[in-house]
A = this chain, B = another copy of it.
Amino acid sequence: MRRGSDVFSTSRGTVSERGRNRSWLLSSIITFNVLILGIALVSGSVFNNVKINAINLQIFLIVLIILTTAWMLYYTIYTSREDHAVLYKDSHAGPVWLRGGLVLFGLCSLIMDVFKIANYVGYLHCDSAVKIAFPVVQAVFILVQTYFLWLHAKDCVQLQRNITRCGLMLTLSTNLMLWMAAVTEESIHQTVVPPEDDNSTHSYDIRAPGGSSSCNCSHSACAVLEKAYYYLYPFNIEYSLFASAMAYVMWKNVGRLVDEHNHHSLHFRLKDMLVGPAVGLVMLVAGLGTFVIYKVDVEKGDPGKRDTVLMIHYVMNTVAVTLMSVSTVAGCAIYRLDQRDHVSGKNPTRSLDVGLLIGASFGQFTICYFTIVAVVATGAEGHLNALNLAVSLLTVIQLCLQNIFIIEGLHREPFHEDMHQASVFTNPYVLQAQAHRDIHNLPGTFMETKTSPALTVHSMHVAPSAPSSSPLPQRHRLTWKRRALKEICAFLLLCNILLWIMPAFGARPQFDNTIGAEFYEFTMWAAVVNIGLPFGIFYRMHSVASLFEVFLTS
């Protein structure tokens, strides 16, 4: 919505501006139509009794992929031949961790496609050849797209803007469609329909991956391959989202003229960090331990054991979410004390980050509130329900706090080490007194007492020997505020990884605890969880990336 006004409010009626508005509208409308047609096809392939649409959907996807690949090849060749095709680059777009993640997830997706092809070869004698064609085409697409985005993610295109806008929107649509198809397949795979519903017509269609159940695999590796490639699904889902985000930022940057000023080179250093990463790692290991116990015991299907592992799972989550909330509150308090400027200037990458963060948290919020309503309405009897309620309430609080913390963090100017060192050089005793006052007057965050001796010593000894052009920047230690923020970011980052891994690799307490499916009906509850959870997983993933950025700028 704001996007529209933003584009139009800067336009002043010149011909090129009007052309910009037109191609903006046109490319948006193309995306809109492709996506809605895609949603209809995906829904048709899931809910339809005839089952003809799974093939139709794949044909639709293949057509989209081929068109997008062709455009990306055309763009790459065109820009490499033309001199000065790309004069401007957006330094914020496509940071190295995003492109690195893209390559990593791309590799996993390629392995998944190889497994899929090997699996479908076994079904070739009795199933459609389209099912093999799809992973082949997808593998080529992943190779081309990763190459394309690696090279061109920072481009601010000036030539052939209309074609480029439409091409980028096509890329965006294709990736979102692939994401949607993968999420749907993954959700169906993870949803175990309760046995009492099996005779109704409303049961979900859990397809054997090779096709109809009367078709048997002709080689022995099928069962293993099938299991293996389902574990690679989360990476493929993330790959599509990464590519979508990068395509969107490129689209926003088409026709933009940027000056490459104030690009801070930020370094990742874990020195001086102790409490945050340590507690975070303990949480991560403990969480993964309970997750493994949970998966093993739930798969056995013993109802008594199920309640026990659900309890362990809820306790683990309660502890994690509570600690996260407490440290986020501490982080927000530090921001209030902090005098850093807010960043100004247009930055599509940051706008996208904030938007995705708020948008994706919607999924987790929805599941939590639905759980709260169900548990409260049925009276919240027993330990299990009480714990379930506690986890949901605490998660809601944690989500609100974390959103505030990350949004605040993304909008702060990075700390300028030079300025700070210069002031140290000028008058070390002022800073030293300042450090003392900070430590003794301010209400304590949790690592204050541990860091204070080191910090005070450091201020006295290092400061006079560290002028602005110091050859030893690595030895420059951090003020307590920066250090506390970094510790908090590291802790939150590791906890978000934990909360990402558990649902991404198949923890479904929402279905294992039957209260949701009993209170709402099963179809309704399955719809809420299967739409909300992918967004929740993405939210955790995206929080990890954003927290990493906040960590770097703090």
Instruction: Please report A residues at the B interface, Cβ cutoff 8 Å.
Output: 1-6, 8-13, 17-18, 21, 25, 28-29, 32-33, 36-37, 39-41, 43-44, 47-50, 52-53, 56, 200-202, 340-348, 350-352, 354-356, 358-359, 362, 365-366, 369-370, 372-374, 377, 396, 400, 403-404, 407-408, 411, 519-521, 523-524, 527-528
Chain B residue, CB-CB nearest to A3 = B2
A-B contact pairs, 18 of them (CB 8 A): A2-B355, A5-B346, A8-B342, A8-B411, A9-B344, A13-B342, A25-B403, A32-B358, A36-B362, A37-B373, A44-B370, A44-B374, A44-B520, A49-B521, A50-B377, A56-B377, A200-B201, A202-B521
Contact B25 A404 (CB under 8 A): yes
Contact B29 A373 (CB under 8 A): no
Tell which of B8, B10, B341, B521 touches A47, judged by Cβ atoms closer than 8 Å. Answer: B521
Bound-state CA distance A32–B366 (Å) is 10
Using A48-B519, A56-B377 as known contacts, say yes or no to A1 and B352 having CB atoms under 8 A apart.
Answer: yes
Bound-state CA distance A366–B233 (Å) is 27
Contact B369 A40 (CB under 8 A): yes
Tell which of B49, B355, B521 touches A201, judged by Cβ atoms closer than 8 Å. Answer: B521
How many copies altogether? 2
Using A50-B377, A355-B1, A358-B1 as known contacts, say yes or no to A344 and B29 having CB atoms under 8 A apart.
Answer: no
The smallest C-beta distance from A376 to any residue of chain B, in angstroms, reads 9
Contacts of A201 in B (CB 8 A): 200, 521
By DSSP majority rule, is chain A's interface helix, strand, loop, or mixed?
A: helix
Using A44-B519, A365-B32, A377-B44 as known contacts, say yes or no to A350 and B1 having CB atoms under 8 A apart.
Answer: no
The smallest C-beta distance from A367 to any residue of chain B, in angstroms, reads 9
The smallest C-beta distance from A543 to any residue of chain B, in angstroms, reads 16
Contacts of A12 in B (CB 8 A): 341-342, 344
Chain B residue, CB-CB nearest to A520 = B47
Bound-state CA distance A202–B32 (Å) is 32
Additional A-B contacts beyond A44-B519, A200-B201 (11; CB < 8 A) = A1-B351, A1-B352, A1-B359, A4-B407, A8-B354, A11-B344, A13-B340, A36-B365, A40-B373, A56-B377, A202-B202
The smallest C-beta distance from A539 to any residue of chain B, in angstroms, reads 13
Contact B342 A11 (CB under 8 A): yes
Using A1-B358, A4-B355 as known contacts, say yes or no to A48 and B366 having CB atoms under 8 A apart.
Answer: no
The smallest C-beta distance from A298 to any residue of chain B, in angstroms, reads 26
The smallest C-beta distance from A346 to any residue of chain B, in angstroms, reads 6
Bound-state CA distance A5–B52 (Å) is 44
Chain B residue, CB-CB nearest to A356 = B1
Contacts of A13 in B (CB 8 A): 340-342
Contacts of A6 in B (CB 8 A): 2, 6
Chain B residue, CB-CB nearest to A46 = B524
The smallest C-beta distance from A532 to any residue of chain B, in angstroms, reads 10
Contact B2 A33 (CB under 8 A): no
Contact A41 B350 (CB under 8 A): no
Bound-state CA distance A226–B377 (Å) is 29
Bound-state CA distance A524–B346 (Å) is 42
Tell which of B44, B342, B407 touches A18, judged by Cβ atoms closer than 8 Å. Answer: B342
Contact B29 A403 (CB under 8 A): yes
Contacts of A49 in B (CB 8 A): 521
